[in-house]
């Protein structure tokens, strides 16, 4: 879960807190512009090295293009269906976390916030600001929105940490193994248990929640002070308020939230499976469980990599894992690139369109 999401969720007024965070980030960028440009330079260098040097050494792009050109129209149709399924499953998770939100509104806000967080300099805070702004126009504001942002973030992180564990279990059931997957799964298991235990402890007792909140606020404010940032505006009471609201939401809708979150993540996995089969990798060489393991690694890499959407890191992780399981170099690179294109390009295109037109849609709904 991102720090801006947590601070907004714990604040009495999430919108104001998010604005404060954005203003603080802008001031920080003005004061330390060179660091920002250095990070941008590192990201560009990593992406450039990956696509211009590393991937071509694994498989010549001419060979990769031959694989792509060999796709039949049936596989192209299935790839488009998989990409459409991914877009179609992005709304229900928000609908589960924010009662009253329509499917169309959920789709637009999810696509827009994701697209903006990728392309905007502000990253995650800019994406959340987009979400808050769109939802406010539609009549959703205040604590319910902050809670929805926080809970969906937590559920998504738990899924990302959980899939490597399931991948290792599947590999063991097949009599297979992969050292990289096992190491990532071990780290994910530790973090998953810590996250679940911390979440459960935080919700278990009001007095304990308040004490944890007060201590956490002091520690975080101290850490932010070292970075010349303003102290947090929340305290133990914010934790208690968040606890009560979270218990109420989870008690009523935990199953809906869990199923919709899993559906959205698994729709991304479907894109990879279809991509791998479309480029000619048969089941006898790379099983569905092995594809799942490669995907699990890519999800973890995408969540921690410094580049937008894990660009570069995800492709290397997917390619290396698929080759280790039995795909040829050209097939692995082609599958990774097709997967990236179908996962991100529709989201970016539809998301930026949704961010630019959400007020027009609201005006049309109001007129109707």
DSSP string, 303-359: HH-SSGGGTTHHHHHHHHHHHHHT--HHHHHHHHHHHHHHHHHHHHHHHHHHHHHHH
**How do residues 146-157 score in pLDDT, each as one tens digit?**
788 888 888 888
Give the burial class of 37: count Cβ atoms within 10 A of its Cβ; 0-12 exposed, 13-18 middle, 19 or more buried.
exposed
Longest dimension (CA), the chain: 64
Cα 331 from Cα 280, distance rounded (Å): 7
What is the average pLDDT value for the chain, to the nearest integer?
82
pLDDT on residue 30: 54
Cα 59 from Cα 245, distance rounded (Å): 52
CA distances from 274 to 79, 261, 333 (A): 6, 21, 14
**Position 357 pLDDT exceeds 90:** no
Q: At what angle do helices 124-137 and 14-31 cross, to 10 degrees?
A: 150
pLDDT on residue 366: 45
Q: How many residues are recorded in the chain?
A: 368
Contact by Cβ (8 Å): 168, 297 = no
Nearby residues of 207 by Cβ (< 8 Å), 6 or more positions away: none
pLDDT on residue 296: 94
Contact by Cβ (8 Å): 321, 293 = yes
Average pLDDT estimate for 38-56: 80
Contact by Cβ (8 Å): 335, 318 = yes
**Position 67 pLDDT exceeds 80:** yes
**How do residues 263-280 score in pLDDT, each as one tens digit?**
999 999 999 999 999 999
> Global pTM?
0.82
For the ranges 185-194, 222-231, 333-342, the lowest mean pLDDT is seen at 222-231
Percent of the chain's residues with pLDDT above 90: 40
Give the phi and the psi of residue 48 in degrees, each rounded to 5: -60, -45
Nearby residues of 320 by Cβ (< 8 Å), 6 or more positions away: 180, 332
Which carries the bigger pLDDT value, residue 177 or residue 97? 97
End-to-end CA distance of the chain: 38
**Position 234 pLDDT exceeds 70:** no
**How do residues 295-332 score in pLDDT, each as one tens digit?**
999 999 888 887 878 888 999 999 999 999 999 999 99
**Position 6 pLDDT exceeds 80:** no
Q: Label residue 114 by pLDDT band (50, 70, 90).
A: confident
Average pLDDT estimate for 195-223: 75
Cα 271 from Cα 267, distance rounded (Å): 7
Which carries the bigger pLDDT value, residue 108 or residue 2? 108
**Position 17 pLDDT exceeds 80:** no
pLDDT on residue 364: 46
Cα 129 from Cα 269, distance rounded (Å): 28
């Amino acid at each position: 879960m991102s720090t801006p999401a947590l601070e907004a969720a714990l604040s009495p007024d999430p919108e104001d807190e998010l604005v404060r965070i954005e203003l603080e980030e802008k001031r920080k960028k003005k004061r330390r512009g060179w660091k920002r440009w250095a990070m941008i330079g590192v990201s560009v260098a990593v992406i450039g090295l990956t696509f211009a040097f590393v991937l071509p050494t694994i498989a010549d792009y001419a060979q990769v293009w031959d694989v792509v050109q060999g796709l039949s129209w049936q596989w192209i149709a299935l790839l488009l269906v998989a990409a459409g399924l991914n877009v179609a499953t992005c709304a229900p998770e928000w609908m589960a976390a924010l009662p009253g939100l329509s499917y169309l509104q959920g789709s637009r806000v999810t696509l827009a916030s994701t697209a903006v967080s990728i392309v905007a300099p502000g990253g995650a805070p800019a994406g959340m600001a987009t979400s808050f702004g769109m939802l406010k126009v539609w009549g959703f504001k205040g604590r319910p929105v902050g809670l929805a942002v926080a809970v969906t973030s937590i559920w998504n992180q738990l899924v990302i940490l959980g899939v490597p564990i399931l991948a290792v279990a599947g590999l063991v059931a097949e009599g297979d193994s992969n050292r990289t997957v096992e190491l990532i799964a071990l780290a994910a298991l530790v973090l998953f248990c810590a996250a679940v235990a911390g979440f459960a402890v935080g919700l278990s007792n009001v007095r304990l929640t308040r004490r944890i909140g007060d201590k956490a606020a002091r520690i975080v404010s101290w850490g932010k002070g070292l970075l010349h940032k303003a102290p947090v505006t929340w305290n133990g009471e914010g934790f208690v308020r968040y606890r009560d609201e979270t218990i109420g939401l989870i008690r009523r809708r935990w199953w809906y939230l869990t199923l919709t979150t899993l559906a959205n993540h698994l729709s991304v996995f479907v894109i990879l499976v279809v991509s791998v089969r479309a480029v000619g990798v048969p089941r006898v060489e790379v099983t569905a469980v092995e594809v799942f393991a490669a995907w699990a690694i890519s999800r973890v890499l995408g969540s921690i990599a410094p580049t937008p959407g894990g660009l570069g890191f995800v492709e290397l992780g997917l390619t290396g894992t698929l080759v280790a399981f039995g795909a040829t170099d050209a097939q692995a690179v082609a599958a990774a690139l097709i997967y990236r294109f179908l996962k991100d390009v529709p989201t970016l295109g539809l998301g930026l369109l949704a961010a630019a037109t959400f007020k027009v849609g609201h005006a049309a709904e109001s007129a109707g």
